[in-house]
Structure 1
């Protein structure tokens, strides 16, 4: 048997059968045997309509049983699942359908109008299947199948397939700094990096492909609430990791803080998979308002988005017994490191020691300079983070970008992650932010994530995005798009004074654009493209340069 995602799930289905819940969405509660049968039905529906090994199947669904079962069904066929960002529309949606070479598309009915417009005339896209979600989005695109009817007629039995560890898994980037790109992973390498096929701390591979399915036999299943979208690796890979080892995954199609807390209480959730501040802040507000009992939860695990020290501190004040895990990585690098925060880190001040999170170096992380030369272990310079070990083969249909990102450094192939960092002793790296989001202001390098973290720590700021704005004297200064908290009066002078407690003067935004709601990607990653459009569309609501031109203080 191969180190292949479909095989790994089938090992778990064989181990747990009808005795253990695998997935829960509202009233749908599927055991491992049930989920295996549902995935087999999806595989039969697709195979009977010409989808086979190597074919690309676009998945345009919100979180839920249908979404995870479809992923598994596609993988069982040795086909390639294509994750579709459900917030895309128009030209960006059409681009992804076309660029990904999808021959089949499965979508929730609420997206039918966007699908009909974006898929029209795409010759490769021959099969459309609509999944009912209770919405009334209007007519389906011409020729689209109804998933309920197709699945009802499909076989629940497994079809043998000669799967391979080399089978392709395409991971699509979020498009935060440009158009989305497909990252080509061997399934074994992706499993080793992101789905439990190797120890996250040491990189040591697990002993065999049955290790995970054996690991959950000795006790009750862990109960996960996966709030990150399954169309993002930060939601999908924790789901696979849980399912391979006998856990139970709970899903909500929409993120609403009240619904999340209700699910935690009613299902006694133990592990919550979140996207940093964007999800935790509204949860915190609801926890304070209601005093809801979240004592079943022992871990918050975050990925894909900033989880600032101030928000971690608020969570730990409410729940001092919690463990907070902060996972770092990317579509290109896979797992990059794991930060841990507890009440002890809050009490001893280490939680706020640096704005950037610390990650263990392990054997695979290193810093290099602008010329790809490794920095000495005792260096205090800021460098680029590169990673060795399990990694993709490159970008889909982009040889030039592949050569830029996957480089030979110090005798081994490394992933150039695009993140900046600084050594913190021999064992850890302080992550400072994405190199693509650095503001160069008169020679000073300012990391957007540091400013965003400081902004969101100020009372009255609900959310914020920092980015560079043109400046006559310094080339660029820091600007910010902000969302005030409900009921806040919007005092810019008070905001600037509060920022001086944590930021150097040149890092404090000089101009602010106020919006009703900060827009983010489904994964809760910052949408810098959207923020740039806000800046281009209108003048700032506040610009302190009009009062003190050229000041750096």
Structure 2
């Protein structure tokens, strides 16, 4: 690819008056905000547009194929059943808790076009965690697969707002609900009925500022918080992705993920969970609108991914950087036809700059890209791709035109960044973000909302710098968390679980470098005098309370107190250095286990 136009020129051309990506300023919650003038008004509008793709393949799962028209009819019947069977109305919450299945997408769209607020829950959560998400959101109806249903069953009696559960099976076997459940349980097939050409969506009128989703994100204190996204948030991300693709094409490259010669559509390999903003906002919604084929995997496996890339002529794949590296390093790579790949997109975890070179070596016609965003920014805020990424591989790219980003120094006490704040490529500080992609706040958590959102700005919790071209570099995390394979693990949650063990006197959780996952969870533990416990027992104790990806895989037992500052805060940099500094950093080996007496 040869870039013939600057970023600034491309932005001016694409956002000029009358163009698809023209911008205007509207007031959102009292704050003047730049928005995409021609963005769809709601997710319902997006689904209606998708019907034009007709008999093109939309969802592919194992041997199942669903066209856009078939999908539309199924969604219409589902949406009507939500209203007729369970009385779901605009603004009520509908949860989806299942692995990546076609029914995930169908349930999402059915709830969305009904005006319900979709609540995707982490499919790896335990029963108590799922109960919390359903109870906190006040969910009326839940779409679940059989695995999640079995976890939820003991908790159904404790969910007074829940009016119904819709169950599907992963292996497509028949499902029979247990007798005398506290709430009605029906199968997905019963809800769908017999879709046909006359299937129609229930009548609804949706506004861009209506709530659309609640995505739960773990917090630095307490339980997970539900980030409330609006219809505008979702549609902004869609338009931002289309803008990025158009800018890529305008600057002399094929659009990211363009169909290869002879193909009538692009194909995306879905390798990340739909219950994350990346999977839902940037993959599901974007590919639905674009008329692309979405190929689902039962579970992540690099060899299976290569098989699907060849069979389905995949044009875009990615996920977290670890997944890309696993595909490239697979012993089956050389024997598979990967020539259809036009884009390798990833984010959600720190990416080594060396990965860019390896992508260009193994996928020579592809455009590598790495973006930055949060649940609270409805996925994409910045994107670095193509030649820009090769030129600046350690950057996450410039912000999309409807977003403002600022570096705010530590100690700043204002409610919005002042124009006279220090700036320049050497200035670091917390990254603040403003735009129509920023969610309206946290569900029923006013204090947390006030601490994170101010006058349209989001305090990201990430430490960054911005160079003279506007490219953002994430240099550190202000939040105390571990990113394991793209999953955020907040230390306080794991520490709280460890403290529940009677033998634990003190503990601290840190990230341990891992070549594939980026980081794993590690814990330093101080035992109570006279107690005995093994690392395996502590790991099992945490696993009984939290999802598996949060369980420490490295546990160090210490006889001396944890290092703390005068205010009592654990000095985690010092602790990490003492634990990992003896030549073990990046090896992923177990440092200690056994018993303490």
Matched, 1:83 2:120: yes
Identify if the C-alpha distance between structure 1 residues 194 and 173 changes in structure 2 by more than 3 Å, giving closer, same or farther. farther
List gaps (5 residues or longer) in structure 2.
1-38, 248-258, 496-506, 517-521, 526-533, 541-546, 561-574, 583-597
Q: CA deviation at 1:481?
A: 3.5
Q: CA deviation at 1:433?
A: 3.2
Alignment equivalent of 1:41, drawn from 77, 89, 96: 77
For each residue in 1:217-240, what CA deviation from the matched residue of structure 2 results, as whole angstroms up to 9, or x when unmatched?
Answer: x99322111211111110111221
| Counterpart for residue 189 of structure 2 | 148
Identify if the C-alpha distance between structure 1 residues 159 and 546 changes in structure 2 by more than 3 Å, giving closer, same or farther. closer
Are 1:97 and 1:119, in contact at CA under 8 Å, matched by a contact in 2?
A: no
Distance in structure 1 (CA, Å) of the matches to 2:318 and 2:581: 45
Q: CA deviation at 1:200?
A: 4.5
For each residue in 1:151-190, what CA deviation from the matched residue of structure 2 results, as whole angstroms up to 9, or x when unmatched?
Answer: 2256733333223223211231332645322122220233
Identify if the C-alpha distance between structure 1 residues 7 and 537 changes in structure 2 by more than 3 Å, giving closer, same or farther. farther
| Counterpart for residue 209 of structure 1 | none
Identify if the C-alpha distance between structure 1 residues 147 and 465 changes in structure 2 by more than 3 Å, giving closer, same or farther. closer
Identify if the C-alpha distance between structure 1 residues 320 and 74 changes in structure 2 by more than 3 Å, giving closer, same or farther. same
Are 2:399 and 2:471, in contact at CA under 8 Å, matched by a contact in 1?
A: yes
Identify if the C-alpha distance between structure 1 residues 514 and 120 changes in structure 2 by more than 3 Å, giving closer, same or farther. same
Distance in structure 2 (CA, Å) of the matches to 1:464 and 1:7: 32
Alignment equivalent of 2:307, drawn from 248, 256, 262: 262
Alignment equivalent of 1:122, drawn from 147, 159, 183: 159
The DSSP-based 3-state class of the residue aligned with 1:297 is: coil
Identify if the C-alpha distance between structure 1 residues 95 and 287 changes in structure 2 by more than 3 Å, giving closer, same or farther. same
Matched, 1:26 2:62: yes
Identify if the C-alpha distance between structure 1 residues 91 and 479 changes in structure 2 by more than 3 Å, giving closer, same or farther. closer
Q: CA deviation at 1:68?
A: 0.7
Alignment equivalent of 1:421, drawn from 433, 450, 464: 464
Identify if the C-alpha distance between structure 1 residues 360 and 83 changes in structure 2 by more than 3 Å, giving closer, same or farther. same
Are 1:420 and 1:431, in contact at CA under 8 Å, matched by a contact in 2?
A: yes
Distance in structure 2 (CA, Å) of the matches to 1:299 and 1:396: 36
Q: CA deviation at 1:341?
A: 5.3
Matched, 1:294 2:315: no
| Mapping 1:147-546, distance limit 5 Å | 147-152=188-193, 156-175=199-218, 177=220, 179-194=223-238, 196=240, 199-200=243-244, 220-237=264-281, 238-277=283-322, 279-286=323-330, 290-334=334-378, 335-340=380-385, 350-351=392-393, 356-361=394-399, 364-370=404-410, 371=412, 372=414, 374=418, 375-378=421-424, 380-390=426-436, 391-408=438-455, 413-437=456-480, 480-481=511-512, 529-531=550-552, 535=555
For each residue in 1:248-267, what CA deviation from the matched residue of structure 2 results, as whole angstroms up to 9, or x when unmatched?
Answer: 21112311222211111001
Are 1:184 and 1:396, in contact at CA under 8 Å, matched by a contact in 2?
A: yes
Q: CA deviation at 1:102?
A: 0.4
For each residue in 1:92-144, what CA deviation from the matched residue of structure 2 results, as whole angstroms up to 9, or x when unmatched?
Answer: 22111100110111111122220102333211112011112228899745241
For each residue in 1:351-406, what CA deviation from the matched residue of structure 2 results, as whole angstroms up to 9, or x when unmatched?
Answer: 3xxxx534214551111112155543326232111111212221110111111111
For each residue in 1:11-62, what CA deviation from the matched residue of structure 2 results, as whole angstroms up to 9, or x when unmatched?
Answer: 221x2223x2222222222221111001112112211111121111110122
Q: CA deviation at 1:545?
A: 5.3
Are 1:464 and 1:483, in contact at CA under 8 Å, matched by a contact in 2?
A: no
Identify if the C-alpha distance between structure 1 residues 266 and 88 changes in structure 2 by more than 3 Å, giving closer, same or farther. same
The DSSP-based 3-state class of the residue aligned with 1:173 is: strand
List gaps (5 residues or longer) in structure 1.
204-214, 439-447, 454-462, 471-475, 486-508, 520-525
Distance in structure 1 (CA, Å) of the matches to 2:105 and 2:318: 16
Aligned Cα RMSD in Å? 4.3
So what's the TM-score if we normalise by structure 1? Answer: 0.73
